[in-house]
Chain A
Amino acid sequence: MAAKPGAATPTYSPKLVGSSRLPIFKDSDLDWSRPDGRGFHQCRPALLQTGAVSSASGSAYAEFGNTKVIVSVFGPRESKKAMVFSDVGRLNCNVSYTTFASPTIGQGTDHKEYSSMLHKALEGVIMMETFPKTTVDVFALVLESGGSDLSVVISCASLALADAGIMMYDLITAVSVKRKDVKMEAL
């Protein structure tokens, strides 16, 4: 009766009509501060917590301002696909977004490349030879996207791996930097 499929009925959000974004950069004023009052090289206050998901081997929750991310680590566990014997372990990463992560409905910008970027960031630091023949799965879910998503995901993932007891050379962290004209600021 009422649960009609959304694809058949096009809908629009009333908020986007006629909204204009205020300009952040005022070129004439060199001393402007960022909208949330931070200095150029200042990061947002962070909340990092392990043990967010009880079903996972290790997990972490990170909140950097409005960016909220949960990362779960499963493993080392059996590789599902029939793999050729390998004497090093394998790493499998996946980053996904909730439908309400971005202010606009639907996917917002496409972030399919984040999974492989997370993989590249982690594969250098995990000691793969400590879990041969098995796979470690790192899954991230971005609950709310408030900017610098990939950096928060990477930092949270390394914390989740530590919580899972996977051997690593070090904990890794990440930060996004944006360059605007001459000045550099940390996001």
Chain B
Amino acid sequence: MGLQDSSQDLSTEMEVDAFRRIFPLRFFERHLSESLRPDGRQLGKARDTIVNLGLVSTADGSALAKIGSTTMLAAIRMEVMTPSTDSPDEGCIALEFHMPPICSPTVRPGRPADAAPVISKRLSDTILSSGMIDLKELCLVSGKAAWMGYLDIYCLDADGALFDAALLSAVAAFSNLQIPVVALNDNGRIVAITGGKDQDNASITEKEAVNKEKRKLTLKNIPFSLTCILHKNYILADPTTEEESIMDTLVTVVLDSSDQMVSFYKSGGSALAYSSAIKSCVELARKRAKELNQILGEMDID
């Protein structure tokens, strides 16, 4: 009681920045009572989202996704592998999420960030279980050759909602992916058809392009996610790092383009998720999925 009074007295004299650092929870709650957040956003509103495709020239597909300040760069490189005997018609996707030391003051070189393997696993599970990619499309020659897609996602700036941005960048990278045209060599190896000057024209006409029609993957059931913070009876969508550090209960809802729920994730935290809170989170996620679908749709036109 005494502490509350003293902070209230101090708040009238102290500078805003100092108050924000010393009493962060009270600073935020002052804003929440007006249904606003310090950056002026509504509680259920996500930050400005930008997606750019095809930035990495060495990759077969790439995308940069920015949600507010959180920036993720995803790149896919396709390599050829021998499919396993129990699924000879299927390729494979290897996903890895990296948090290099540039992205956040909490990450040290040589010590991988605590959040990185967690997000890596969650992303991998979400993308594979959503059914967005049909692994049979990655097959080249049944039983002998199939594509292995190495998807690497780098966090360039970590400002909250890392999973959302990473998933968005991964999905955008898949939509940008252009599978190289290849043919089967006489030795049984797959070679890329570069076409033109430095290759024997005679040998090309003999080798039929193995995947002339299948250059782009068909993406169905694209997953979109929204992370929310539960605090008392407030629900804050798309938190920043500052918000995540003060309020510890995070809920992530992943829906696909047909409004089916792909995943719901809540890992502890002091606030309990009652069914009303869950319903509100899902509703916010639904709106967000529509926004993101529109943003990706605008990107796909080129």
Contact = CB atoms under 8 A, between A and B. Distances in A.
Interface of A: 1-6, 9-15, 17-20, 22, 52-56, 59, 66, 70-72, 74, 77, 80, 94, 96, 98-103, 105, 137, 139-141, 143-144
Given A11-B81, A13-B80, A54-B157, A3 B198 contact: no
A136 B194 CA distance: 47
B230 interface: no
A70 B109 contact: no
16 contacts: A2-B93, A3-B124, A10-B81, A14-B80, A14-B182, A19-B198, A52-B156, A53-B156, A53-B157, A55-B159, A56-B102, A77-B105, A105-B79, A139-B101, A141-B100, A144-B58
Given A14-B182, A54-B69, A70 B156 contact: yes
B148 A17 contact: no
B54 interface: no
Interface of B: 56-59, 62, 69, 71, 73, 75, 77-82, 84, 87, 90, 92-96, 98, 100-105, 108-109, 124, 128, 135, 148, 150, 152, 154, 156-159, 180, 182, 185, 189-192, 194, 198-199, 241
Given A1-B128, A15-B192, A96-B109, A105 B77 contact: yes
Rank and list the top 3 A-B pairs by shortest CB-CB distance, nearest first: A11-B79, A72-B102, A94-B109
Contacts of A55: 69, 103-105, 157-159, 241
Contact of B79 (A13, A53, A71, A103): A13
Contacts of A77: 105
Contacts of A19: 194, 198
B190 to A, nearest CB: 5
Contact of A9 (B90, B92, B198): B92
B92 A2 contact: yes
Contacts of B194: 15, 19
A86 B57 CA distance: 46
A13 B198 CA distance: 18
A149 B35 CA distance: 48
Given A14-B192, A17-B185, 7 more contacts: A3-B124, A6-B94, A6-B150, A13-B77, A52-B157, A98-B154, A141-B102
Instruction: Determine which residue in A12, A71, A105 has the highest number of CB atoms from chain B within 10 A of its CB, and name it.
Output: A12
A99 B241 CA distance: 26
Contacts of A2: 87, 90, 92-93, 128, 135
Instruction: Determine which residue in A55, A59, A139, A144 has the highest number of CB atoms from chain B within 10 A of its CB, and name it.
Output: A55
A11 B140 CA distance: 14
Contacts of B152: 98-100
Nearest to B59: A100
Nearest to A98: B154
Contacts of A141: 100-102, 154, 156
Instruction: Determine which residue in A2, A9, A22, A74 has the highest number of CB atoms from chain B within 10 A of its CB, and name it.
Output: A2
A29 to B, nearest CB: 19
A27 B205 CA distance: 35
A112 to B, nearest CB: 11
A137 B98 CA distance: 19
B73 to A, nearest CB: 7
A93 to B, nearest CB: 9
Contact of B148 (A6, A22, A139, A143): A6
Contacts of B154: 98, 141, 143
B108 A80 contact: yes
B191 A11 contact: no
A72 B159 CA distance: 14
A1 B124 CA distance: 11
B101 A4 contact: no
Contacts of A74: 105
A105 B105 contact: no
Nearest to B95: A3
A126 B182 CA distance: 52
Nearest to A6: B94
A71 B157 CA distance: 11
Given A3-B93, A14-B190, A100-B77, A56 B105 contact: yes
